[in-house]
Amino acid sequence: MANISKKVIAKAVKGKNILITGASSGIGERTAHLLSECGAHVILLARTEENLKMVKDEIEKNGGKASYYACDLTDMDDIEKTTDKIIADFNHIDILVNNAGRSIRRSVHESVNRFHDFERTMNINYFGAVKTILAFLPIMISRQTGQIINISSIGVLANSPRFAAYVASKAALDAFSRCLAAEVKGHDISITNVFMPLVRTPMIAPTKLYRYMPALMPDEAAMMVAKAIVEQPNSIASNMGKFASVTFSLVPAFNVGLQSMGYRIFPSSSAAQTTDSKPNIAQRAFAKLIPGEH
């Protein structure tokens, strides 16, 4: 996916208030740096204040403008309190980037006694994101302008095994956003879902097998977010994501068979976290054919 120039990005974001959740590391952090370099005022949201302050200081050191708010995005009361404060401090935000998320790699049959896995992913990936959207939507409507960008996953398009909890939560936000997009189009508010492929961030670090898999770097992922801001499409996906979506729509048996092959080739999370996790020839070949999910 070709990058767009910082000049083009600056034209879209200069002087705007852009709220980024999960901004203390990974995709959120790099997106904050990119957009601040292009003239945006980035508002950083994450759980750990110390990490947020480090990101803010680095942005300001490089000449950018940033503010931060520590917030537990699994706590609906904390989200309400924090978003109220942001509105009081800045009156409005122009762009919301829902990036914060939790991923769990575990098959369903290994999760029969772990219902909390499904609750945890829904809390941050769906309920937290929706609660944040609801906080800023009325002001966007009253101003007749705004943009909401959700960082989703290629897994939503590919129906990736071992990610049922994670993919379901991202799919819920995708469905919510598609319904919302039709409702707010007349208010000049755009909604974009970015179906990220695997990105080399702290979220995937516990699975050592991923060290050997093809993955985007966080700066490349940040450029996908910038592309969403500039072009305002309904969705952005890699070529592999588009291929996965088309195969499931047209030939679902092929899609399921391919994913089943990957499920059998790659080990469960517990095995993938061991030190002896360098992929074999079959795993390497499959990983190049079907890259992983964010």
**Residues annotated as catalytic (active site), given as ranges:** 166
Burial label for 120, CB within 10 Å (0-12, 13-18, 19+), is: middle
Q: Is residue 71 within 8 Å of residue 47, measured between CB atoms?
A: yes
Burial label for 293, CB within 10 Å (0-12, 13-18, 19+), is: buried
List Cβ neighbours of 168 (8 Å cut-off, separation of 6 or more). 118, 121, 122
Q: Which of 290, 291, 288 is nearest to 254 (CA)?
A: 290
How far apart are alpha carbons 43 and 277 in whole angstroms? 38
Q: Is residue 44 within 8 Å of residue 56, measured between CB atoms?
A: yes
List Cβ neighbours of 294 (8 Å cut-off, separation of 6 or more). 27, 103, 151, 153, 154, 155, 196, 197, 198, 199, 203, 221
Q: Is residue 47 within 8 Å of residue 124, measured between CB atoms?
A: no
- Find the helix packing angle between 281-289 and 252-265, rounded to 10°: 150
How far apart are alpha carbons 280 and 283 in whole angstroms? 5
Q: Which two tokens stand for residue 204?
A: 């995937």
